[in-house]
Chains A and B, each alone.
Chain A
Amino acid sequence: MESVILQIAARHMRPLLIILSLVVLYRGHNEPGGGFIGGLMLGAAFILYAMGFGVKKTQESIFFSPVTMTAVGLLVALASGIPALFAGHIFMTGEWVTFFQGSAMELKLGTPLLFDLGVYFAVAGMLTLVMFSIMEE
């Protein structure tokens, strides 16, 4: 499967896909998108790269293994429920912090976003893990 076209496409598509997946993840709360879709996109980015360059090269080009990614995702999702406990709420209640309130750059960050990040990594990790496992054969 050494296709030059695929390799060039993969090389340029991957960073784009990763950025796009992050955008989709962030805007998911208000517009179509979210952790699932973002995670699928991130996974697709790695898989595309792996189809062009092989699993081994792809593994080397990312810092962590897919297993770690899945585990990190799960842990982040789980951890996002904890702040609520400190605030005296039930586990997994959404907690929000607003930055630059009132200004044009008003930014609301909350644990649901963190949770979505966990979903994002878990889904992407799982996809990559599965595809790498199959493609390595």
Chain B
Amino acid sequence: MSTGLFILILFVLAGLAPFTRRYLGNTAGWVFALFPFGGFIYYLSLLPAVNTGQLIMESHAWLPVYGIDFSFYIDGFSILFSLIVLGIGTFILVYAGYYMRPYPMKGRFMGYLVFFMASMQGVVVSGNLITMFVFWELTSISSYLLIGYHHEKPEARSAALQALLITGFGGLALLGGFVLMAIPYGTYELQAMFANPDAIRNSGLYLPALLLILAGAFTKSAQFPFHFWLPGAMAAPSPVSAFLHSATMVKAGVFLLARLNPVMGGTELWYVLLSAFGAVTMVAGAWLSITQTDLKRILAYTTVSALGTLVLLIGTGTEYAINAMIIFLVVHALYKGTLFMMAGNIEKMSGTRDITKLGGLYAYMPKAALIMGLALVSMAGIPPLLGFIGKELIYEAKVYAPSWRYLVVVASFFTNVVLVFLSLRLWLDVFGGKTPAYSKKPAEPSLALIIGPLFLVLASLVMGLFPATIATPLTSAAVISVSPTIGAIKLKIWHGFNLVLGLSALTVLCGVLVYKYKEAVIGFANKVNLRYFTREFAQLFSAGIEYFLLITKAQTKNIQHGYHRFYLMTIFVVASILVWSIIWRSDPLVLELDFSDMPLNLVAVVVLIVTAALSAVATHSRIIALIATGVIGFGITIIFIAFSGVDLAITMVMVEVLMVIMAVAVLYHLPRYVKYSATGARMRDGLVAGLVGGFMMVLVLQAGTSQLEEPISEFFKEMSYSEAFGRNIVNVILVDFRALDTLGEITVIAIAALGIFSMIKLAREQSQIKKN
């Protein structure tokens, strides 16, 4: 099995999903889950080889001329991400298969999920920037479809659109960044870039490329000030929140930054930008999560905070920071996936996910309470779960940060205190305390709903208990691929009594204290928010979009005014200006008026045509205009004959007769001419007409006296009889040399005829319906 085939299978599965539901029924989730599970096993089996430093590459030609191929580059980091995507994906599919039962269009929903999984898997194994971009955009599109799954609700639609606009804008920026990045290398292959990282850093393109790539990564990973789409995305069903908007898709930005770290990282600018955005996002996410009451929105803001932490760690770039980043990535995916699934379960079982309306659920669902409790312990960073190791490493990274040490330590202390507080709140206020009146009697969620959270929490626990034997092999290769110059730290749960441990203890203590005085703290946070953040970012964004639409509407009304003749006039005037300016600057034409090659009969014909044309323009009678048109046609026929266009002349005669007959048949139904335009308008139109006619005249004179290339007709002359057995070259060209063109032409003719036929026939049927 290869990666390309695997992704292809997933895409095919996504396409088939809507149709399989009928046959698979409620087992669909379990059946679908087999696919990512197979992939999980496959990538796990690659791990030993990768840990010894091997790279797995694969390439399928796509547009080799432009250096764009479907190539895959699989190292430790790709494997780690693949395991997260496919491992969590397996459980999400099982969960979703059951969770979505009451909703319509379940099959399509599963299809979207698998579609996303395939795209995300594509992102993490891409070895070519353009391939990665394509998959990247596909994740945005699947996110849009999934957020807007409840499309009958307006807020779901607007949240979906918002997410799409922001990530789509970022995606465009990213494409620009990729293109710039590829210039110094002449290829989009990651491998070539890793081999020579200095090429881009030393080129002048580094700054613009970096800014564009960051725009893409920050929008995708919901960094402040683009964070607001993520809480909005909670309009999606819970499986989506658990999968896309916590564990995988939002991490695509982080993935990209980490992936490009060996090439783009290591500069002062990289350090400053990533640290600043990451730190602000981390603190802002934590702060904004305090006042939320919706379970999923609380989790969404902590996700924003976690993404900030990850970006900050990549920016810091030290040995500890990169190790912490990798571990925290896993930790966060495990506990946040669990928590979102559990939030969905709580809503499903109790009918609400408003934390102020929940409580006392332990009595009804003790198993769920236990699982959620373990996940929260991991989130709070308390041993023995993997979360503790993650948090310890983060603290360690920050305490030994190269600069702004105190600032980042304080920021991260604040964030962790909030996390501890929220962990307590999410458990005690949901499962403990008084039992409010529920709309239905809560019950333990069924196996399919709980198996995913259970396994994820167990994974977190096992890795926390045996960091050296299980967690280290999983992550060490990833650390090296993100930052080849540093080594992987051997993970352990006990670091001895040191500053970091003290910091951890203080964090927990403060978190408990905050929980104790939660009313006061939440009240204070609310007050601050009301005072300083009167309008949410999401509202500002939609207001901006609306304003933009207003402007474009007004603009469109100005440009698309609906008067055909002004459209045409714009075209003619612009063309006149352009062509006349070129004529003005080119060499003057030398004309020799030679009356000897002007046979009198032809002069007469030309005069006749000119007169007819002018009278067709000037006349007030439709019939005269039509007759004049006929005269022009026959006049041109004579010119064709005079200059050896025999077939042309015959065709022209036939066509001209038929055209006039048709025009008369139609004209018969039309009213007489009425004078519509004022004299001023006529003079203006006349001027434009004169300008166009004038430059066409000059063009003919120039074209008639110059021949740049040898005409291809010599070939036709030679081959016409010897190869195509025809003496009439024009006909031979039509039916033999250029027969495909002629076929196209008669197709056009047939389509025009069908159009006419249907216009008349439709009208006749409509009038008959009216009569009846």
Residues of A at under 8 Å CB distance from B?
A: 28-37, 40-41, 43-44, 47, 66-67, 70-71, 73-74, 77-78, 80-81, 91-92, 94, 96, 108, 110, 112-113, 115-116, 118-119, 122-123, 125-127, 129-131, 133-137
Contact = CB atoms under 8 A, between A and B. Distances in A.
Contacts of B756: 129-130, 133-134
Nearest to A30: B727
A131 B661 contact: yes
23 contacts: A28-B731, A29-B727, A30-B727, A32-B646, A33-B728, A33-B731, A34-B728, A35-B734, A36-B734, A40-B658, A70-B749, A77-B743, A96-B725, A108-B725, A110-B725, A112-B724, A112-B736, A116-B734, A122-B749, A123-B749, A126-B752, A133-B759, A137-B760
B321 to A, nearest CB: 63
B9 interface: no
A113 B730 CA distance: 14
A44 B731 contact: no
Given A36-B651, A129-B756, A92 B740 contact: yes
Contacts of B65: none
Contacts of B747: 74
A98 B379 CA distance: 88
A119 B745 CA distance: 9
Contacts of B749: 70, 122-123, 126
A37 B658 contact: no
B726 A29 contact: yes
B650 interface: yes
A135 to B, nearest CB: 6
Contact of B724 (A34, A36, A77, A94): A94
A21 to B, nearest CB: 10
Given A122-B750, A129-B757, A130-B756, A115 B731 contact: no
A4 to B, nearest CB: 20
Interface in B714-731: 723-728, 730-731
B61 interface: no
Given A33-B731, A44-B658, A112-B732, A126 B753 contact: yes
A126 B756 CA distance: 10
Contact of B727 (A31, A67, A118): A31
Nearest to B657: A44
B655 interface: yes
Interface string B615-651: 0000000000000000000000000000000110011
A94 B736 contact: yes
Contacts of A81: 739-740, 743
Interface in B638-678: 646-647, 650-651, 654-655, 657-658, 661-662, 665-666, 669
Contacts of B730: 34
**8 tightest A-B contacts by CB?**
A40-B654, A126-B753, A30-B727, A122-B746, A29-B726, A133-B760, A112-B735, A34-B731
B293 interface: no
A129 B758 CA distance: 11
B742 interface: yes
Nearest to A110: B725
Contacts, number: 140
B746 to A, nearest CB: 4
Contacts of A134: 662, 665-666, 756, 760
B726 A37 contact: no
Contacts of A29: 725-728, 731-732, 735
A29 B734 CA distance: 10
Contacts of A33: 647, 650, 728, 731
B38 to A, nearest CB: 44
Interface string B295-321: 000000000000000000000000000
A81 B658 CA distance: 30
Contact of B731 (A40, A108, A116): A116
A40 B724 contact: no
B251 to A, nearest CB: 51
B73 to A, nearest CB: 41
A132 B665 CA distance: 11
B734 A34 contact: yes
B736 A71 contact: no
A47 B661 contact: yes
Contacts of B662: 130-131, 134
A80 to B, nearest CB: 8
Contacts of B761: 133
Contacts of B743: 77-78, 81, 92, 115
B739 A129 contact: no
A65 to B, nearest CB: 10
B725 A74 contact: no
A66 B749 CA distance: 13
Contacts of B657: 44
A107 to B, nearest CB: 12
Nearest to A136: B760
A34 B750 contact: no
B475 to A, nearest CB: 58
A100 B735 CA distance: 24
Interface in B86-124: none
Contact of A118 (B736, B746, B759): B746
Given A37-B654, A40-B655, A112 B760 contact: no
Nearest to A73: B746
Given A43-B658, A71-B750, A77-B742, 13 more contacts: A29-B731, A30-B728, A32-B647, A37-B654, A40-B654, A40-B655, A94-B736, A96-B725, A116-B734, A129-B757, A134-B662, A134-B756, A135-B665
